Amino acid sequence: MTSSPITMYGAEWCSDCRRSKALLDARGVAYEYVDLEAVTEGADRAFAISGRTSIPVIAFADGTHQVEPSNAELEGKLRELGVLA
């Protein structure tokens, strides 16, 4: 993973990616966004994390990840990590 505590792997054409990205942006959460269309090895990195080809893959500093999380699932994880109050 990178220096950011949260890394999101996604693509602009993916509606779930846009939704998760919008949630992170609206909550002011710092994260690294890896655009799978622009970063050649990005899809391989996302697959190595999740074992799946579904996106978004959101990786957290505690070693966990979520694939295609609902807003409620993502917010719950952010609260668990202390990123959201």
pLDDT tier at 54, thresholds 50, 70, 90: very high
Mean pLDDT (the chain) is 94
Domains, the chain, ordered by start? 6-80 (3.40.30.10)
pLDDT tier at 47, thresholds 50, 70, 90: very high
Q: Looking at residues 19-26, what average pLDDT do you find? A: 97
User: Hey, what amino acid is at 81?
Assistant: L
pLDDT tier at 3, thresholds 50, 70, 90: low
Buried b (16+ CB within 10 A) or exposed e, 9-33: bbbeebebbebbbebbeeeebebeb
Better pLDDT: 3 or 66: 66
Dihedral sign computed on CA atoms, order 11, 15, 18, 24: negative
